Amino acid sequence: MSDDFTREFSAGLRAAGVVGAGGAGFPACVKAAARAEFVIANAAECEPLLKKDRTLLELHPEKVLDGLELMMRSTGASKGFVGIKKKHSALSASLGEAARSRRNISVAPLGDYYPAGDEQCLVYDITGRVTPMGGIPLAAGCVVANVETLFNAASAAGGPGTEKYITVAGAVRKPATLKVPVGISWAEAVELSGGFGVPDPAGIDGGPMMGKVITDFSLPVTKCSGGLIVLPKNHRLIVKKSAGRPAFSRVGRSACDQCSYCTELCPRYLLGHSVQPHRAMRSLMFSGGPLIHSEYALLCCECSLCSLYSCPEGLSPSEICAAAKADLRGMKKNFGDSELNSGRPVSAHPVREERKVPVSRLVRRLGLADYAADAPYLEHEYKPARVRILMRQHAGAPCSPVVEAGRKVRKGEVVGDLPADKLGCPVHASIAGTVSKANGEFVEITAE
């Protein structure tokens, strides 16, 4: 490790716009500039039905390992791991073979549970370390990066990544995993997957657990997109995830019996953290106003396990926790100031292993068993007529357009940027063409 290498590598990642490709969109340049003992490639892909990370590892294992090595060198890490579920035995074995020629990289087998890919669960499962309450994996000596992020990091010296691996699954005619230009619409991605398989579809942008419901399929694929799950609009998962705050608060207030199953199965509670969704639910019943004051929600990672699996009443503790966090943010209260922040070291719950939720059981509970078909990789070079490059595709500050309508742009050219002192990355044209629209939300490019 040298400071010069770290500086250059990190600057290269920022210039190439490399961000967390697993959904979070955290700029990779910030992780590359940190100091860590371990770097973990997150290949857990625990969201049901998605398989773009696995596909990428099958297609380009060496490049992902190159990215892992670069990140290790940049952070000064002495050891690298690829965290992948042991059920993918053939891929794990070939990755282990590929890693043998690399110094200090090994494959770490994971159980088939949700959320194995939660970064704090991953850190614990691989290193045995619990991330301190309110901290990030770096506080446990670890940098965690999605495998596609590492793939893009290894490619960054050759220019920005302008393509995205995604899975389109559920109620489509031919579920598929695809490589597509960033900025194509979800409707185009569905078309590449054979078209809608139901007359009145809705989609979940991301995995079924943490993704957001969309009904407007003209929305674009971004650098953080993991995939789209298409379902009938009246599927119970779509209906549940579409409920607004007034509805889930009202039902929660009247129906929660305080059984505490939501807490007992919460993956962060089982790591020893002070998150207790049943207490957040309890605060609904005693709250004198519309705001939720429960600090027991502050360390919730919004994995949705409590709402979509644990609660026997079908209530929405995850959404209540998210609402409480937003309310507390508005009141300028954070975990650092909370009485729950005892500062004491925490340890995982003694029965954590027994309480892990198998993905197969989760798939049945979500009503997705009929949609759990394979989504094979579809080799296809898609040339869109136009793309929309969103100005916000990462954590931090949004970009502003640096091109105007009528301007010709090259593939890979910067079309949106932000000041160097702000958290974020530039965004790039994914096709060559002419800018047809540019505003604070997106730059639209029409192909040549």
Pick the piece of the chain touching ligand SF4 (CB under 6 A) from 195-203, 219-227, 305-313, 403-411.
305-313
Is residue 301 involved in binding ligand SF4 (CB under 6 A)?
A: yes
> Do 129 and 139 contact (CB within 8 A), yes or no?
no
Calpha distance 113→442 (Å, rounded): 37
Q: Which stretch binds ligand SF4 (CB under 6 A): 294-302, 327-335, 336-344, 440-448?
A: 294-302
56 binds ligand SF4 (CB under 6 A): no
Among the listed residues 73, 313, 333, 382, the single contact to ligand SF4 using CB under 6 A: 313
CA dist 427 and 435 (Å) reads: 14
The residue within the footprint of ligand SF4, chosen from 167, 249, 294, 318 (CB under 6 A), is 318
The single residue among 130, 171, 271, 315 that binds ligand SF4, judged by CB under 6 A, is 315
127, 310, 393, 430: which one contacts ligand SF4 (CB under 6 A)?
310
Contact with ligand SF4 (CB under 6 A): which of 50, 180, 311, 362?
Answer: 311
Instruction: Name 358's Cβ contacts closer than 8 Å, sequence gap at least 6.
Output: 112, 113, 114
Nearer to ligand SF4, 55 or 307 (CB): 307
Q: Which residues in 226-285 contact ligand SF4 (CB under 6 A)?
A: 256-262, 266-268, 275, 277-278, 281
Q: Note whether 31 binds ligand SF4 by CB under 6 A.
A: no
Q: How far is the CB of 362 from ligand SF4 (least distance, A)?
A: 12
> Toward ligand SF4, which CB reaches closer, 300 or 387?
300
* Interaction residues for ligand SF4, span 177-196 (CB under 6 A): none
Of 304, 368, 418, 433, which one interacts with ligand SF4 (CB under 6 A)?
Answer: 304
Question: Which of 56/237 has CB closer to ligand SF4?
Answer: 237
Instruction: Say how many residues touch ligand SF4, by CB under 6 A.
Output: 28
Binding segment (CB under 6 A) for ligand SF4, from list 94-102, 229-237, 311-319, 385-393? 311-319
Name the residue nearer to ligand SF4 (CB basis): 178 or 271.
271
Rounded least distance, CB 335 to ligand SF4, Å = 13
Task: Name the one range near ligand SF4 by CB under 6 A: 15-23, 216-224, 304-312, 367-375.
Answer: 304-312
Alpha carbon distance 343, 234 (integer Å): 46
The contact pattern for ligand SF4, residues 364-393, with x = CB under 6 A and - = no contact, is: ------------------------------
Distance CA 335, CA 342 (A): 10
Q: In the set 50, 303, 328, 415, which binds ligand SF4 (CB under 6 A)?
A: 303
Residue among 185 and 318 whose Cβ is closer to ligand SF4: 318
Q: How far is the CB of 236 from ligand SF4 (least distance, A)?
A: 16
Q: Which is nearer to ligand SF4, 249 or 260 (CB)?
A: 260
Smaller CB separation from ligand SF4, 227 or 317:
317
Strands 442-447 and 433-438: antiparallel
Round to whole Å and give the CA distance between 325 and 341: 15
Closer by beta carbon to ligand SF4, 203 or else 267: 267
CA distance 121 to 137: 10
Q: Give whichever of 92 and 263 is closer to ligand SF4, judged by the CB atom.
A: 263
Which residues contact ligand SF4 by CB under 6 A? 256-262, 266-268, 275, 277-278, 281, 300-306, 310-311, 313, 315, 317-318, 321
